[in-house]
Amino acid sequence: MPLTSTLARRPSRIHLAQLLCAAALSGCALTAPSSPQSTTASPALPAEAIRALAPDGTLRASINLGNPVLASRDAATGALKGVSVDLAHELGRQLGVPVELKAVDAAGKSVEVVRAGAADVGFFAIDPVRGEGVSFTAAYVVIEGAYLVRADSPLAANAQVDRPGTTVVVGKGSAYDLFLTREIKQATLVRAPTSPQVVDEFISRKLDVAAGVRQQLEADAQRVPGVRLLPGRFMVIEQAMGVPASRPPLARATLHAFVERMKSSGFVAAALKRHGIEGAAVADPAPQR
């Protein structure tokens, strides 16, 4: 049966039950092609665009749990939640295919999953280093990078961090790592395995500065006594979606158009509000690519 006619058919209850049963047996985090958060009518996507993004008939989305602005696990159920999770479900709904979420604990791992073709889409900070092997959309969210120090630290401003003898810990492969690797000239960078482990490394190794996403550092400051955030931000990070660079140009163009619809429709803003994300903003509109 042609793909267009298959997607046009509304799945029967029996078919849907079989799909969910197969997902449970395989151990994959599959979801039916619908999104409870959807606020946008599905566009009429051509079959070749659907094949470009989900060639196997399932949209595999890499979800980075290392950035709490984008995704986390529900403390009660363990289910994945967050802005990127909502976007993955909505993209699957608009494509008319089920979604398989592939959770990883660090940004670098998420990049590798997509770069290797083990996922069809991912959610990343735009960075020239990551551009190798991944094609990005325009940004959908912009977030802030911040520094955390001990309460008695002599450091009072972001500009004071890059000095000889100062040690700065950052999550390996994160956007902050890539940025600081380029920008730090005198301080010494130390890399924690993942971004959520940065503050624990900062404490246990008696380092001078912890660098990361503001929301993560603010949460850590609530559980770790005797620390404070430096005022302001040391960088602004543009969060985008991406596909393997090996995919046809239509895949990136379709994903780019999806991201722009999600911004202009209010979907991204509603997701940020629903998940209680502060300090992040919807990115400005971008021209069609």
Looking at residues 259-274, what average pLDDT do you find? 97
pLDDT of residue 276: 87
Task: Report the topology of domain 143-235.
Answer: D-Maltodextrin-Binding Protein; domain 2 (3.40.190)
Alpha-carbon span 138 to 240, nearest angstrom: 6
Q: Per residue in 175-220, pLDDT tens?
A: 788 889 999 999 999 999 988 899 999 999 999 999 998 888 998 9
- Of residues 278 and 205, more confidently modeled: 205
pLDDT tens figures, 149-167: 999 999 999 999 999 999 9
Class of domain 3-142+238-282: alpha beta
Label residue 38 by pLDDT band (50, 70, 90). Answer: low
Residues of the chain with CATH 3.40.190.10: 3-142+238-282, 143-235
Radius of gyration of the chain measured on its C-alpha atoms:
20
Residue, of 99 and 28, whose pLDDT is higher:
99
User: pLDDT (tens digit, 9 = 90+) per residue, 44-56?
Assistant: 789 999 999 999 9
- Interior angle at CA 66, CA 32 and CA 39, nearest 5: 35
Instruction: Report the pLDDT averaged over residues 140-144.
Output: 92
Contacts of 288 (CB under 8 A, 6+ apart): 253, 256, 257, 260
